[in-house]
Chains A and B, each alone.
Chain A
Amino acid sequence: MTKIKIWGLALTFLWSQSLLAEVIDVTIHYVGPTEGSVWLGMQQGMSEANLQGEFLGQTYTIKPVTLDELADLDEVTALLLASDAETIVAVAETEKFNNVPVFNLMSDEDNLRAACLPNLLNISISQQMKQDALAQWLAKHPGSKAHVQSWHESFRKFAASQLNSRFTKASGIIMDDDSWAGWAAVKLISDTVARIQSDDATKMLNYLRNDIAFDGQKGAGATFRQTGQLRQLVLLIENNKIMAEAPLRGVKGGLDSLGLLSCK
Chain B
Amino acid sequence: MKLKQLLLSSLVLVSASAWADPTYRLFVTNEKSNTVSVIDSRTGKIETTLEIGDRPRGIGLSPDQKILYVALSEENAIGMVDVATLEFLGKLKAGEDPETFDVHPNGNLYLSNEDDAKATVLNPATGEIITEIRVGLEPEGVAVSPKGDIALVTSESTNMVHVIDTASHKVVANILVAARPRGLAFNSDGSFAYVSSEIGNELAIIDTTTHTIIKKVVLDIPKSKPMAIKISPDDKTLYLTTGRAAKAAIINAETLELIATVDVGKRVWGAELSRDGATLYTADGVSNTVSVVDTATQKKVMTIDVGKGPWGLALDD
Chain A residues in the interface with B (C-beta under 8 A): 9, 12-13, 16, 19-20, 48, 51-52, 55-56, 159, 162-163, 165-166, 191, 194-195, 213-215, 217, 219-221
Cα of A166 to Cα of B138 in the assembled complex, Å: 10
Contact of A215 with B138 in the complex, beta carbons under 8 Å: no
Q: Would B138 and A13 count as touching, CB distance under 8 A?
A: no
Select one of B115, B159, B162, B168 contacting A162, CB under 8 A: B115
Q: Please name all residues of chain B whose beta carbon is closer than 8 Å to the beta carbon of A162 when the two chains form the complex.
A: 114-115, 138, 157
A19, B160: Cα distance in complex, Å: 16
B114 touches A215 (CB 8 A): no
A229: shortest Cβ distance to chain B, in Å?
Answer: 19
**Chain B contacts for A221, CB-based, 8 A:** 179, 199-201
13 new A-B pairs (CB below 8 Å) besides A51-B136, A55-B136? A12-B172, A13-B168, A13-B172, A48-B137, A52-B137, A55-B135, A55-B158, A55-B174, A191-B179, A213-B179, A215-B157, A219-B199, A221-B200
Residue B50 at the chain A interface, CB threshold 8 Å: no
Write out the residue numbers on chain A whose beta carbons fall within 8 Å of the beta carbon of B168.
Answer: 9, 13
A221 to B199, CA, bound (A): 5
With A13-B170, A55-B171 given, is the CB distance from A159 to B138 under 8 Å?
yes
Q: How far is the CA of A15 from the CA of B212 in the complex (A)?
A: 16
Alpha-carbon distance between A219 and B244 when the two chains are bound, in angstroms: 12
Contacts of B117 in A (CB 8 A): 51
Q: In the assembled complex, which residues on chain A have CB atoms less than 8 Å from the CB atom of B211?
A: 19
Specify which chain A residues have a CB less than 8 angstroms from the CB of B31 in the assembled complex: none
Q: Give CA–CA (A163, B158) in the complex, Å.
A: 12
Q: Report yes or no: A48 in contact with B200, Cβ–Cβ below 8 A.
A: no
Residue of A nearest to B165 (CB): A12
**What separation, in Å, do the CA atoms of A57 and B158 have in the docked complex?**
13
Query: Most chain-A CB neighbours within 10 Å: which of B135, B172, B179?
Result: B179
For B172, list chain A residues within 8 Å (CB).
Answer: 12-13, 16
| Chain B 166-182: CB-based contact to A (< 8 A → 1; otherwise 0) | 00101111101011100
Pick the contact of B158 from A16, A19, A52, A195 — CB < 8 Å? A52
Cα distance A141–B184 in the bound complex, in angstroms: 43
**Provided the pairs A52-B160, A215-B157, A220-B199 are in contact, do residues A16 and B115 lie with their beta carbons within 8 angstroms?**
no
Instruction: Give the distance in Å from the alpha carbon of A199 to the alpha carbon of B117 in the complex.
Output: 26
Q: Tell me the minimal C-beta distance from A162 to chain B in angstroms.
A: 6
Complex formed: what's the CA distance from A55 to B172 in Å? Answer: 10
A55, B114: Cβ atoms closer than 8 Å? no
- Provide the residues of chain B in CB contact with A163, threshold 8 Å: 157
- Interface residue? B54 (CB, 8 A): no
Chain B hits for A16, CB < 8 A: 172-173
Query: How far is B155's CA from A51's CA once the two chains are assembled, in angstroms?
Result: 11
Instruction: Tell me how far the C-beta of B223 lies from the nearest C-beta in chain A, rounded to whole angstroms.
Output: 9
Separation in Å of the B88 CB from the closest CB of chain A?
A: 29
Residues of A within 8 A of B102 (CB): none
- On chain A, the residues within 8 Å of B160 by CB distance are 52, 55-56
A residues in contact with B114, CB < 8 Å: 162
For A54, give the chain B residue with the smallest CB separation: B134
Q: Are A159 and B176 in contact (CB under 8 A)?
A: no
- Nearest A residue to B172, CB-CB: A16
CB-contacts of B102-128 with A (<8 A): 114-115, 117
Q: Is A56 within 8 A of B157, CB to CB?
A: no
B156 lies within 8 A of chain A by Cβ: yes
Contacts of B176 in A (CB 8 A): 56, 194-195
Shortest Cβ distance from B216 into chain A, in angstroms? 13
Residue picked from B137, B200, B211, most chain A C-beta under 10 Å? B137
Task: Given the known inter-chain contacts A13-B168, A13-B170, A55-B162, please indicate yes or no for A165 contacting B200, CB distance below 8 A.
Answer: no
* Shortest Cβ distance from B178 into A: residue: A213
Once A48-B158, A215-B159 are accepted as A-B contacts, the answer to whether A56 and B174 lie under 8 Å apart by CB is yes
CB distance from B84 to the nearest CB of A (A): 37
State the CA gap A163–B138 with chains docked (Å): 9
Q: In the complex, what's the smallest C-beta–C-beta distance from B295 to chain A, in angstroms?
A: 30
Q: In the complex, how many angstroms separate the beta carbon of B7 from the nearest chain A beta carbon? A: 27
CA distance A13 to B170 in the complex (A): 8
Q: List 15 A-B contacts (CB under 8 A).
A: A13-B170, A19-B173, A48-B157, A162-B157, A194-B176, A195-B176, A213-B178, A213-B179, A215-B156, A215-B157, A215-B180, A215-B199, A219-B199, A221-B199, A221-B200
Tell me which residues across on chain B come within 8 A of A220, comparing CB atoms: 199
**Residues B72-98 near A (CB distance < 8 A):** none
Shortest CB distance B182–A (Å): 11
CB <8 Å contact, A217 and B174: no
Give chain A residues whose Cβ lies under 8 Å from the Cβ of B156.
Answer: 159, 215
Task: Pick from B158, B170, B199: contact of A213, CB below 8 A.
Answer: B199
Q: Within the complex, what minimum Cβ distance (angstroms) separates B119 from chain A? A: 13
Closest to A217 in B: B157
Shortest Cβ distance from residue B252 to the other chain A in the assembled complex, whole angstroms? 24
How far apart are the CA atoms of A19 and B175 in the complex, in Å? Answer: 12
CA distance in complex: A213, B114 (Å): 23
Chain A, Cβ-Cβ closest to B180: A215
Nearest-neighbour CB distance to chain B for A217, whole angstroms, equals: 7
Question: Which chain B positions have C-beta within 8 A of A191?
Answer: 159, 179
